[in-house]
Amino acid sequence: MKRANVNLMFKSSGVVLSILSFYSFASLNCSGFSGCERKYCEIEQQIESAQLANNQKKIEGLKVALAEAKSNCSDTKLKQDLAYEIKETKDKIAEYNLDLQEAKGSGKDNKVRKY
């Protein structure tokens, strides 16, 4: 009985290692891409992992996401979206810096620690 459990454990760990190896290899495959091509590659990898897990609902959703990405994605739009996110983040940082300076001016230590 113990021998059967040990054999099952080794078989299970082999499956897990195979899956982990696949994910490591798959993530390296997309690292050579950028922009929309990388996005497509990553979605395709997620589809493959959902297929390995036999998760049909996730497969269907990811196929829809891939089709949407292929019909709507452009590298220019991705760059614009990132530029917008960077600007928004910089604006928030500037706002926090103003709040910090204001808190320092008021002499309220609890507000200074907050910012």
pLDDT tens readout for residues 81-100: 999 999 999 999 999 999 99
Determine the pLDDT at residue 6. 47
What gap in Å lies between CA 72 and CA 30, rounded to an integer? 20
Q: Please give the model's pTM, rounded to 2 decimal places.
A: 0.53
Determine the pLDDT at residue 111. 78
Query: Closest Cα partner for 62 from 77, 78, 45, 74?
Result: 45
Which tokens sit at 103?
């808190």
> pLDDT, tens digit, for every residue of 24-76?
445 568 999 999 999 999 999 999 999 999 999 999 999 999 999 999 999 99
φ, ψ (nearest 5 deg) of residue 54: 55, 45
> Is the pLDDT confidence value at 22 over 50?
no
Determine the pLDDT at residue 3. 55
